[in-house]
């Protein structure tokens, strides 16, 4: 076989292995849904759906051309929540002509397929072995030993804090899921540029793309952005330290700053607030960044500037809200309580932390600075993020634990594979360095080293495999794999009347009776409704709207409070036991109705629309 034929053969193998990796990932992560008879891309996953449907409200608004920076349910006030991705999905929905629900599902699927393809490509490029791509689906099935800790695929802790594997994080398909895919892909691009790209312009281009991607994350999802920045910063700082001329000095300064964080952090939080404290959590990496900027003659500063420019829209909006004492942001940063990670976080991390420690051991043995720096920096970021309640920030530390689990498991895999291959399939790609002694290369020493490496590799694989039992349990959990359809006659009737209210162009809000799902009202019609997600964004008159929400939950419609909240329309179901149409007949004027059910004897059930007098 000649050289050109060999190259073509290798390219075919590489392309096939990457494609297979993507297909295996989709089969593993989506297979249980595809197997359902009620699956369609327009169905919504009934998986902690309250928050997800709240995000969907932004997609629905954008699909109707509503791109204003407002609270999405009432379409009043200001929305400080990052919404770039949701507006992107809505815009695609409008242009392509698919429903927002379909855009949500397809967008989430494509983002994961791209990430797996990038990971598979990185594995091939870095290892120079076509079959390495087939390892790409592994990070997404790692678990937290929850089956053994809590007899479930996840571990519930205080409040709403949980521990679960990457599959649990990415299953939502929301902005956080997509943001983590973007962030992980950006880190892999940097790794490829650093280890394999030789042409300076190509390396700079890849890092520029990665930098812009990291910056954009601020506009996609806050925790995805923060965790990517934390992981990237601590890994870079660790690498700069271990490759410095005086590593002990830089390491000493950084360790002092880490220790100081636990002392000064609570004081900063008390004076400047939790968000500022989260930024202070990056201070220990500053010496490393300064040294790297100096070492690169300012080039790295350009990458940081690019990331900052991409992040500016969201950063400015958040800063203005904080400085202006925005009531929502004040509430949001103060509401993160009892969300810490206890000892179960250590146990839950073993499927990933053991391979990280093995990589560190290989780095120390082989004197490979990257293999030393990555696990040190990754563990530092993971520990500090998951303990931010201890050092003052107290902003959902369990979310940092979850998101960093995802990012580390993906970005660590190529480095772990390189370290493992150095013991089992070494390639003489460089001459023996002076740091390698003859005993390292002697047959007896190699045999002993390989034996130890075999046991370590077996331990890593065993830990990951046992942790994946959580994923196996997850795939058969029909409750969390159930789907909601918004294409029933009743939902269509609700949506039709909501659109009729919008067509009146009065700007008034809609309140629905206790039997009509307000989220379904918003998703099917896009109409402004008297509701909002307290943890996402607040309407202009949130107190008045909140009063209407509370009273609705108590089966009450106060006409006075409805007027105060700007409510003009009522949507009711004739099948509802709570008959607002009869109770408030003097204050409601019938406008329209749609029949959604009729039996053989002509009995009907309707969705009705009323105007408040």
Continuous segment of H or E residues that includes residue 597? strand 588-598
Residues 6+ apart with CB under 8 A from 407: 180, 183, 184, 187, 227, 228, 231
Where in the chain are the domains? 3-105, 174-427, 486-612
Q: How confident is the model at residue 442, as a pLDDT?
A: 60
Give the alpha-carbon dihedral of 118, 358, 171, 27, to 10 degrees: 60
Q: How far is CA 32 from CA 27, 28, 471, 478, 480, in A?
A: 8, 8, 12, 9, 10
What's the half-sphere exposure (Cβ side, CA atoms, 13 Å) at 511? Answer: 31
- Of 66, 160, 159, 59, the C-alpha closest to 101 is 59
Identify the H or E element spanning 383: helix 369-386
Give the C-alpha separation, 140 to 509, whole Å: 42
User: How high is the pLDDT of residue 444?
Assistant: 65
Q: How far is CA 179 from the centre of its chain?
A: 5
* Residue 348 confidence (pLDDT): 97
Give every residue of the chain whose pLDDT is below 50, as ranges: 428-440
**What is the predicted pLDDT for the residue at 433?**
37
Q: What is the pLDDT at residue 327? A: 76
Q: Residue 438's pLDDT is what? A: 39
């Amino acid at each position: 076989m000649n050289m050109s034929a060999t190259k073509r053969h290798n390219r075919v193998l590489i392309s096939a292995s990457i494609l297979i990796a993507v297909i295996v990932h989709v089969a593993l992560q989506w297979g249980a849904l595809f197997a359902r008879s009620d699956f369609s891309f327009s169905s919504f996953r009934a998986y902690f759906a309250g928050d997800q449907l709240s995000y969907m409200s932004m997609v629905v608004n954008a699909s109707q051309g509503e791109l204003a920076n407002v609270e999405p349910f009432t379409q009043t006030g200001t929305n400080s929540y990052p919404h770039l991705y949701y507006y992107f999905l809505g815009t695609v929905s409008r242009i392509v002509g698919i429903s927002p629900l379909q855009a949500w599902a397809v967008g989430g699927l494509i983002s994961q397929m791209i990430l797996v393809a990038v990971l598979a490509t990185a594995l091939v490029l870095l290892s120079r072995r076509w079959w390495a791509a087939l390892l790409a689906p592994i990070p997404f099935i790692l678990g937290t030993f929850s089956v053994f800790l809590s007899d479930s695929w996840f571990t519930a802790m205080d409040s709403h804090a949980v521990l679960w594997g990457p599959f649990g994080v990415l299953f939502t398909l929301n902005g956080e899921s997509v943001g983590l895919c973007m962030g992980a892909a950006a880190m892999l691009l940097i790794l490829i540029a650093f280890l394999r790209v030789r042409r300076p312009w190509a390396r700079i281009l890849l890092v520029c793309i990665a930098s812009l991607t990291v910056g954009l994350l601020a506009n996609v999802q806050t925790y995805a952005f923060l965790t990517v920045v934390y992981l990237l910063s601590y890994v870079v700082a660790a690498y700069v330290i271990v490759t410095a001329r005086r590593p002990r000095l830089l390491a000493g300064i950084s360790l002092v700053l880490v220790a100081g964080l636990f002392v000064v952090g609570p004081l900063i939080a008390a004076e400047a607030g939790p968000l500022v404290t989260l930024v202070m959590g990056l201070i220990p990496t500053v010496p490393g960044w300064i040294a790297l900027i100096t070492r690169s003659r300012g080039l790295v500063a350009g990458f940081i500037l690019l990331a900052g420019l991409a992040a500016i829209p969201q950063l400015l909006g958040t800063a203005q809200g904080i400085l202006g004492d925005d009531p929502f942001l004040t509430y949001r940063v103060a509401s993160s309580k009892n969300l810490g990670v206890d000892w179960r976080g250590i146990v839950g991390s073993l499927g990933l932390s053991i391979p990280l420690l093995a990589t560190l051991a290989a780095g120390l043995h082989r004197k490979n600075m990257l293999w030393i720096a990555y696990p040190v920096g990754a563990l530092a970021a993971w520990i500090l993020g998951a303990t931010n309640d201890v050092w003052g920030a107290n902003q959902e530390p369990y979310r940092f634990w979850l998101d960093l689990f995802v990012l580390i498991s993906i970005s660590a895999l190529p480095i772990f594979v390189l370290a493992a291959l150095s013991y089992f399939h070494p390639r003489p790609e460089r001459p023996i360095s002076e740091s390698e002694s003859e005993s390292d290369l002697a047959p007896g020493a190699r045999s002993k080293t390989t034996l130890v490496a075999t046991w370590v590799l077996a331990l890593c694989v065993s830990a990951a495999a046992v942790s994946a039992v959580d994923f196996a349990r997850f795939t058969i959990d029909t409750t969390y794999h159930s789907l909601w359809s918004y294409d029933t006659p009743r939902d269509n009737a609700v949506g039709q009347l909501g659109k009729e209210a919008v067509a009146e162009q009065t700007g008034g809000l809609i309140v629905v009776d206790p039997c009509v799902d307000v989220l379904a009202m918003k998703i099917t019609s896009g109409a402004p409704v008297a509701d909002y997600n307290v943890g996402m964004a607040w309407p202009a008159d949130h107190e008045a709207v909140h009063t209407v929400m509370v009273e609705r939950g108590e089966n009450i419609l106060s006409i006075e409070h409805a007027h105060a909240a700007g409510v003009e329309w009522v949507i009711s179901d004739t099948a509802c036991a709570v008959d607002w149409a009869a109770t408030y007949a003097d204050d409601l004027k019938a406008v329209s109705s749609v029949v959604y059910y009729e039996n053989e004897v002509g009995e009907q059930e309707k969705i009705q629309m009323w105007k408040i007098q």
